[in-house]
Amino acid sequence: MIKFTICKEIGNEDKVWEIIKDPYKIPNYWKGTRELNIKEIGRNIYEGDIKFAFPSSGKVRIMVDDNSKRVIINYLSGPIRGIHEITIENKQLCSKWSVELSLLLKPMEKRTEEHFKSGTIHAIERIISEIT
């Protein structure tokens, strides 16, 4: 299992929230997501297909909670299953991962985790640089 959390201080929480609360913008910042074809199925709940930067795809459900400034990406099927949670709390933008890799990717789990961490750092930096 891949589990980690990365946080970075932010200045304006409201401006950062405007960026991260839009699930259609995920591929702009999270480069591991090449394409996201989702539709809103309920208030602030989206479901659809995801294509990853590596040649694979899956199903995803995304929930946006304005009250707690939290975006929960649930990878339902495909090579990655589990939760990626993006939050704003205490003047920090945080990305928390708790995902399982498919059996084919399991042998590369440690390398994949390092890749996810690096991608997360870069995504957070891209989001923060958008508001500066």
How many structural domains is the chain composed of? Answer: 1
> pLDDT of 78-111, one tens digit each?
999 999 999 999 999 999 999 999 998 899 999 9
When pLDDT is cut at 50, 70 and 90, the band that residue 54 belongs to is: confident
Distance, CA of 44 to CA of 20 (rounded, Å) = 13
Q: What is the pLDDT of residue 117?
A: 97
CATH assignment at residue 19 = 3.30.530.20
pLDDT of amino acid 55: 87
* pLDDT for the residue numbered 19: 96
Q: How many CA atoms lie within 13 A of 6 on its CB side?
A: 15
What's the pLDDT score for residue 132? Answer: 77
On whether the CB atoms of residues 87 and 72 are closer than 8 A, the answer is no
Measured between alpha carbons, how far is 78 from 41 in angstroms, rounded to an integer?
A: 21
Reported confidence tier of residue 74, pLDDT bands at 50, 70, 90:
very high
Could you tell me what percent of the chain has a pLDDT over 70? 100
pLDDT recorded at residue 9: 96
Q: Which domain holds residue 85?
A: 2-131
